[in-house]
């Protein structure tokens, strides 16, 4: 634990009772969504975990950056924000996501070369964060930007080869941009949580199931709920979103989703939603 983290830890230990009580009344920003909401909106489950981590880290950074301990951080980031993320023309070529991940997980400050990410991990127990979330923060903290060659697609994912190491990756491009073979991409690749995908490939290479939900448990492990492979010819993303809505208990939204995307009548859509609920172990 770095010196800045130690000071933050003492603050949060002293404030723990008042902090937890006050946190119940602090409104969460409208653009901060949890994993379940992100999956419901159609995001890849693992992408949803990282997006949620980025949202939580953003709230944490905003809260602590005004403290004296974070003055070295605030001064640099505030100046960089003015320089590289102007509110008016000329607009910056940098995306907000690129800037914030650099500010949270790459920029190091203080004598211990800490980051917002390492500080958040160090005080996670005082904030009551579950082990699964802390593991996702650690994975994000250990990620980095890299230059990759686009090598085509496989199974709906983009195949990327890092120029320096020559290592190949199958990645989900969250912007939806498919790209073309031969392009060079400067991107941040975030690994599967606890290597779930690699474990699945190694032990069950012919298993085409998908991850429906995943999250931490009180025992510090990761719980995964698998979804059967989509039927031949069925759009995987569409099918995953439908099952996700039912799994989260949003049956009305699932019925509406079927009506709007497949033109089913209400009775037909309701019947299909009930079938999916039974398949997932519901009623």
Q: Which of 212, 214, 207, 268 is nearest to 242 (CA)?
A: 212
Q: pLDDT-based confidence at 205, cuts 50/70/90?
A: low
Alpha helices by DSSP H, 85-175: 96-101, 116-122, 124-127, 131-141
Phi, psi (degrees; rounded to nearest 5) at 58: -65, -45
Q: pLDDT-based confidence at 218, cuts 50/70/90?
A: very low
Model confidence over 80-125: pLDDT tens digits?
988 888 776 777 777 888 899 999 999 999 888 999 999 999 988 8
What are the angstrom distances between the C-alpha of 277 and each of 150, 174, 238, 242? 39, 28, 17, 11
- pTM of the entire predicted model: 0.62
Residue 258 or residue 226, greater confidence = 258
Model confidence over 8-18: pLDDT tens digits?
888 877 765 55
Q: Helix or strand or coil: residue 113?
A: coil
What is the average pLDDT score of the chain? 78
Q: Helix or strand or coil: residue 238?
A: helix
């Amino acid at each position: 634990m770095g010196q800045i983290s130690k000071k933050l830890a003492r603050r949060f230990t002293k404030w723990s009772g008042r902090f937890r009580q006050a946190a119940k009344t602090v409104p969460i920003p409208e653009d901060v969504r949890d994993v379940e909401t992100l999956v419901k909106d159609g995001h890849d489950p693992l992408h949803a975990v990282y997006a949620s981590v980025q949202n939580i880290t953003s709230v944490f950074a905003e809260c602590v950056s005004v403290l004296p301990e974070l003055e070295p951080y605030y001064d640099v980031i505030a100046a960089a924000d003015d320089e590289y993320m102007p509110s008016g023309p000329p607009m910056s070529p940098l995306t907000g996501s690129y800037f914030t991940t650099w500010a949270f997980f790459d920029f190091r400050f203080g004598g211990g070369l800490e980051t917002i990410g390492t500080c958040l991990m160090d005080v996670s127990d005082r904030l009551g964060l579950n082990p699964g979330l802390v593991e996702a923060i650690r994975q994000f903290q250990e990620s980095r930007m890299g230059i990759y060659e686009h090598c085509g697609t496989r199974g709906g994912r983009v195949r990327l080869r890092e120029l320096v190491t020559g290592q190949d990756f199958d990645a989900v491009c969250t912007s939806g941009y498919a790209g073309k073979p031969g392009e060079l991409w400067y991107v941040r690749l975030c690994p599967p949580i606890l290597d779930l995908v690699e474990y699945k490939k190694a032990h069950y290479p012919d298993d085409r199931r998908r991850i429906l939900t995943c999250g931490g448990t009180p025992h510090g492990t990761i719980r995964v709920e698998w979804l059967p492979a989509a039927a031949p010819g069925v759009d995987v993303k569409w099918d995953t979103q439908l099952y996700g809505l039912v799994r989260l208990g949003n049956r009305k939204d699932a019925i509406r989703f079927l009506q709007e995307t497949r033109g089913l009548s209400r009775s037909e859509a309701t019947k299909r939603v009930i079938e999916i609920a039974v398949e997932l172990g519901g009623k």
